[in-house]
Amino acid sequence: MRWAGMRAKAWGSAALAVGMLAAGPLAAPAEAHEPKAAVSCVGTNTVEFSPGLGLEARKTRITGTGAYTCALAGPGFTSAKSEIGGGGVNGCFASDATTVEKITWSNGEKSVVVYPMGNVRQVAGQAVVLVVGSVVSGAFEGRTVASPGLQLTLDVPSCATHRGVALITGPSALLFL
């Protein structure tokens, strides 16, 4: 009887060891696969304002999307798509908003970046953007993110209307430091 118990423990330990070996890198936390060096992504953003940007800054809701290609980012982090949301007081000549960017990487992992206010110069609806935030959850958690960009509108005269400039689009970048 004692011999059977020892054999069962040995087989149990062997099965556990084989299971751990088979799981290998799959069992490692996601952050173990993230690039540790700076990651640079370039792409485009399209941002909508509701209500649109007018001559006077007013409370607006911000929604949008982004698409990026990333260099030297490592496997699984070669491209990303994002959803942008937030709000604040915005106009054709001033912006004071907080936004959240929810990023989905090419490997399916996600990152949530919060940009608390930023340096956004609105010149007749054209946005010259440099926002700096941090990854609050997911891949790259704890890292600082800088996102410079230039989002444009072809509808500059709408700044002077009640409707305002509702949509801007253009090149953007994500720099994970």
pLDDT of residue 24: 36
Domain housing 6:
1-30
Q: Does residue 88 share a domain with residue 106? A: yes
Q: Is the peptide bond before 51 cis (omega within 30 degrees of 0)?
A: yes
pTM for this predicted structure: 0.74
Q: Does residue 40 share a domain with residue 17? A: no
Q: Does residue 80 share a domain with residue 21? A: no
Residues β-bridged to residue 104 = 81, 110
Q: Does residue 80 share a domain with residue 18? A: no
CATH number at residue 54: 2.40.350
Write b or e for each residue in 42-77: b if 16 or more Cβ atoms lie within 10 A of its Cβ, otherwise e.
ebebbbbbeebbbeebeebebebebebebeebeebb
Q: Does residue 124 share a domain with residue 83? A: yes
Q: How is residue 21 written in tokens? A: 């070996």
pLDDT of residue 154: 66
Q: Does residue 11 share a domain with residue 79? A: no
Q: Does residue 68 share a domain with residue 21? A: no
Q: How many domains does the chain have?
A: 2
* Residue 19 host element (H or E): helix 2-23
Long-range contacts of 16-22 (CB under 8 A, 24+ apart): none
Q: What are the pLDDT digits (tens) for 135-168?
A: 999 999 999 998 877 767 767 788 889 999 888 8
Distance CA 1, CA 14 (A): 20
Residue with more model confidence, 83 or 120: 83
Beta strands in the chain (DSSP E): 39-53, 58-71, 79-90, 95-105, 110-115, 119-123, 126-138, 144-151, 165-176
Q: Where are the alpha helices (DSSP H) in 47-176?
A: none
Q: How far apart, in Å, are the Cα atoms of 177 and each of 38, 66, 105?
A: 5, 19, 17
The label of the residue with tokens 């084989």 reads 18
Q: What are the pLDDT digits (tens) for 14-59?
A: 333 333 333 333 333 444 456 677 889 999 999 899 999 888 889 9
Q: Does residue 67 share a domain with residue 15? A: no
Q: Does residue 83 share a domain with residue 106? A: yes
